[in-house]
Amino acid sequence: MEDRFKKGMSILSITNGDKIEEIFKELEDIAPDLGRFIVEFPYSEIYTREEVDLKTRELCTVAALTALGHATPQLKDHIGAALNAGNSPKEIVEIIMQMSAYAGFPAAINGVMAAKEVFKKRDLLPVE
């Protein structure tokens, strides 16, 4: 058990170390195991697999969350993680724009607005 948790945390330390600590804190007094599940299942079991690199995995997650449209806080977290995993702001914006074809313009615009917020905090605007 311990090992799975460590394994997941080693990925999260690259992609989204601060955010997971925030999530742990938020869940502490209501659903601490949900935080543990996130580390132990997707991060430990999936993101550690070598068939696809972290950079591509995070970009695909940004694509999916943009398309789903209802998970803005997590979309922002994964836009940050996508940057941390080595994607450029331009690459992230490209994939969000691409979602207009699969989930419509509202989802794409809202995705770009989420990216704008993340990029602004990191002083990455304008994207060129």
Q: Does 23 bind a second copy (CB under 8 A)?
A: yes
Q: How far is the CB of 123 from a second copy (least distance, A)?
A: 12
x-or-dash pattern for a second copy, window 36-75, by CB under 8 A? -xx-xxx--xxx-x-xx---xx-xxxxxxxxxxxxx-xxx
Closest residue by Cα to residue 115 from 84, 67, 83: 83
Pick from 91, 121, 122, 123: which binds a second copy (CB under 8 A)? 91
Kindly list the distances between the CA atom of residue 70 and the CA atoms of 46, 59, 74, 80, 115, in Å, as whole numbers in the listed order.
23, 18, 9, 18, 15
* Rounded Cα–Cα distance for residues 83 and 102 (Å): 23
Where on the chain is the footprint of a second copy (CB under 8 A)?
Answer: 23, 26-31, 33-34, 37-38, 40-42, 45-47, 49, 51-52, 56-57, 59-71, 73-75, 88-91, 93-110, 112-113, 115-116, 119, 125-127
